[in-house]
Chain A
Amino acid sequence: MKNMLFGFAVVVAVFIGVCFGIYRIDTTTEDMLVHIEYARGFTQSGDFASASQEIRAAMNIWEDSGFYTHICIRNSELDETTDTFFKALSDISSENKEVSLISIEKLTLHLLSVQEMEHASLRTVF
């Protein structure tokens, strides 16, 4: 009986941990996406300096959550996300509106995919 209760406790603890993981990745990506949306607006209006600042702010959030993301997300996925941030920064600094918007869109989709990976859905489970 003790062992069974221990088993239940572990399953519940893991479930709570997983729920916390989803919450954490959700809030982190949503915070980043807010900055990225601002960056998209600034890029569309031709304010590349502000767009760059917003991308950097999003990147800081990403780097600050490094401890948690390294525990939960594959290293290759983390590296790819960081690369996508740098690509967006580099494209914005080139002040090419079209290319910058494509990079920002790519970054948005990438972060949404990181967020979706943690969620249980038919797509992610199967």
Chain B
Amino acid sequence: MIVIFARTIIVFFVILILMRIMGKRQLGELELSELIVSVMVANLAAMPLQDIGMPLFNAVIPIVLLFSLEIIISGISMKSIKFRVLIYGKPCILIEDGRIAQHNMKKCRFTIDELMASLRSQGILDVAKVKYSVLETDGSLNTVLQAGEQPATASQLGIAPDELSYPYTIIDNGRILSENLRLYGRDMNWLNKQLLSHGVKSQKEVFTMIAFDGDRIYFEKLEEKKK
């Protein structure tokens, strides 16, 4: 049992480190080669955990190799467009100017039901309202509405809304995030004054404090523990 315990920890950290090296992009969307890696790694990782007679290296080596190949393929595809098209394919336009591109639908093996379901998930019910709908290489469908169907922007309406500012979390669950405080351009004296003005003596009494440009503060006290 201790073997499985140790192996699980090793396999977990090997995959964690490799996923970290592959980058955040892998977490949200999967290209073809990334999907292959994910499916194969899941299977390979489980094998030495189920069968302690199998050397751990029999799983770790293919996993490391798969991640390395994926990193190499991603790197080459960033440099070469031809290679990128060869490995990941090209985006496919499924709707153009409110008309379904039947030839592309066939080419991408995309059914009308799948297309309508994707449009509905984006809140679009009428194909005629769509300017372009593109099936991306990661399988997602991106849609651009006709100019007349797009929501009016502030500039089109001639109004000038307040600029959005980046929120800096200064206190997180009773802990001061010094780096964020520095980036916000303030010091501990300012923070202590803010705490006093919100009726608390220490940061330990604060659940979260988020600072926006123009000294606007979102402040939430820590709830008292139930007895």
Contacts and interface: CB of A to CB of B under 8 A. Distances in A.
Interface of A: 1, 3-4, 6-8, 10-11, 14, 17-18, 70-76
Contacts, number: 53
Q: How many of chain B's residues touch chain A, expressed as a range?
A: 20 to 34
Interface of B: 21, 23, 52-55, 57-58, 61, 64-65, 67-72, 74-76
A7 B33 CA distance: 15
A1 B69 CA distance: 14
10 contacts: A3-B74, A7-B69, A7-B75, A8-B68, A8-B72, A10-B64, A10-B67, A18-B61, A74-B54, A74-B55
A17 B68 CA distance: 15
A109 B217 CA distance: 78
- B-side binding surface: helix, strand, loop or mixed? helix
Contacts of B23: 3
B55 A3 contact: no
Given A4-B76, A6-B21, A10-B64, A71 B57 contact: yes
Contacts of A6: 21, 68, 71
A125 B140 CA distance: 36
